[in-house]
């Protein structure tokens, strides 16, 4: 098992993993991104996001896609994990944990103090896994989103 940085050649398999995760989250219809979008965002001089893949003998079986957030209290960036997914037939072998550990190591090496992500409340297997590795549920916070028509209307109001 190798955890490595994704390259532009991985874009097709990254797209497959993004679609597979959206399907798992019951939101397949919400994936509008194309391979070109992903390539343009991740594999340029100043990437907006970063990706590591779990590679088993040349086959990519999982991915972690992340970006840098920022804490004004710490005065430094942190890691925000946007997507973590391992193909169903490759679960239970430690790929997910190895991907998480890779990001935790990057955080530590760079002196970041926080590694964060969100999880869907019904996704108990993931919640159990995250608690097992020492993560804390920040139940006192709620995510708010302004998007689509509401965003347009508010901006133009």
Q: Which residues are catalytic?
A: 130
**Token pair belonging to 128:** 């159990």
In this structure, are strands 50-56 and 76-86 parallel, antiparallel, or unpaired? Answer: unpaired
- Considering just the CA atoms, what is the radius of gyration of the chain in Å? 16
Among 1, 4, 7, 153, binds a copy of itself (CB under 8 A): 153
Which residue bears the tokens 């090496």?
Answer: 109
Site for a copy of itself in 90-149 (CB under 8 A): 100-101, 104-105, 107-108, 113-122, 127, 130, 133-148
Provide the minimum distance between the beta carbon of 5 and a copy of itself in the complex, in angstroms, as a whole number: 16
Among 80, 92, 94, 125, binds a copy of itself (CB under 8 A): 80
> Which of these, 143, 76, 141, 87, lies nearest to 111 by C-alpha position?
76
> Is residue 34 close enough to count as binding a copy of itself by CB under 8 A?
yes
Angle at which helices 11-24 and 35-42 cross, to 10°: 110
Query: Given the complex with a copy of itself, which of 58 and 138 has the nearer CB atom?
Result: 138
Phi, psi of 103 (to 5 degrees): -65, -35
Provide the minimum distance between the beta carbon of 12 and a copy of itself in the complex, in angstroms, as a whole number: 14
Query: Given the complex with a copy of itself, which of 58 and 60 has the nearer CB atom?
Result: 60
d(CA 100, CA 133): 9
**Token pair belonging to 126:** 């993931």
3-class state of residue 110 by DSSP: helix
Site for a copy of itself in 37-76 (CB under 8 A): 37-38, 41, 46, 48-49, 65, 67-76
Provide the minimum distance between the beta carbon of 96 and a copy of itself in the complex, in angstroms, as a whole number: 13
Provide the minimum distance between the beta carbon of 60 and a copy of itself in the complex, in angstroms, as a whole number: 15
């Amino acid at each position: 098992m190798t955890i490595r940085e994704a390259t532009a050649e991985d874009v097709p398999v990254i797209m497959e993993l993004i679609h597979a995760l959206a399907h798992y989250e019951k939101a397949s219809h919400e994936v509008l991104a194309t391979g070109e979008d992903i390539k343009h965002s991740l594999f340029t001089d100043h990437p907006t996001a970063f990706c590591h893949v779990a590679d088993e003998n040349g086959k990519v079986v999982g991915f972690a896609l992340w970006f840098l957030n920022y804490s004004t209290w710490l005065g430094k960036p942190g890691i925000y994990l946007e997507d973590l997914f391992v193909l169903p037939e490759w679960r239970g072998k430690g790929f997910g944990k190895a991907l998480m550990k890779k990001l935790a190591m990057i955080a530590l090496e760079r002196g970041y103090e926080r590694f964060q992500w969100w999880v869907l409340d019904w996704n108990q297997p993931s919640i159990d896994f995250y608690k097992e590795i020492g993560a804390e549920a920040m139940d006192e916070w709620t995510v708010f989103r302004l998007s689509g028509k509401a965003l347009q209307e508010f901006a133009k109001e």
